[in-house]
């Protein structure tokens, strides 16, 4: 027999770097993998399709795209273009750029150089 309480049928404990804006408004928890540059709205694949169908001419990009200020955590797992055998792991706050461990050596005198997951925790308010 069920007693009073909450229903968690549509709930999820998953935390995304970016949540889909339309899904969040409908109390669904979906990860956004796109962002509309004009609307500044984060979109999952399903909502992106609907957005593109009804809003013509808007630029929809991957949330990792640098031109929209993608989350630092999304850079994890990307290889350095200059050093293909190295992964992007470091962030320089002075230049607001991400680097591999070799490239970051040029930023020793910069302030705010840190490991991307550490910076991401700070940005997301996780201690």
At 122, list the tokens.
């700070």
Distance between CA atoms of 80 and 100, rounded to whole angstroms? 6
For the domain covering 72-123, report its CATH number.
Answer: 3.30.160
Q: What is the mean pLDDT of each run of 10 residues along the chain (127 residues)?
A: 43 68 87 83 88 84 55 58 85 86 93 83 56
pLDDT tens for residues 69-95?
A: 344 444 555 778 788 888 888 888 888
pLDDT score at 107: 93
Would the pTM count as exceeding 0.85?
no
Beta pairing partners, 79: 87
Length of the chain equals: 127
Sorted by where each begins, the domain ranges of the chain are: 21-68, 72-123
Q: Residue 52: count other Cβ atoms within 10 Å of its Cβ.
A: 14
Q: Judge contact between 17 and 63, C-beta under 8 A.
A: yes
Extended strands (E) in 60-118: 60-62, 90-92, 97-99, 113-115
Beta pairing partners, 31: 19
């Amino acid at each position: 027999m069920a007693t009073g309480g909450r229903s968690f049928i549509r709930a999820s404990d998953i935390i995304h770097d970016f949540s889909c804006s339309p899904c969040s408004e409908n109390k669904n928890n979906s990860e956004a993998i796109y962002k509309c540059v004009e609307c500044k709205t984060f979109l999952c694949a399903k909502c992106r399709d609907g957005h593109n169908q009804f809003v013509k001419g808007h630029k929809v990009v991957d949330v990792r795209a640098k031109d929209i200020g993608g989350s630092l955590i999304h850079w994890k797992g990307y290889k350095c273009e200059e050093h293909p055998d190295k992964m992007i792991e470091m962030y320089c706050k002075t230049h607001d750029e991400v680097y591999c461990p070799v490239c970051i050596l040029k930023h020793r005198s910069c302030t705010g150089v840190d490991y991307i997951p550490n910076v991401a925790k700070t940005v997301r308010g996780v201690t």
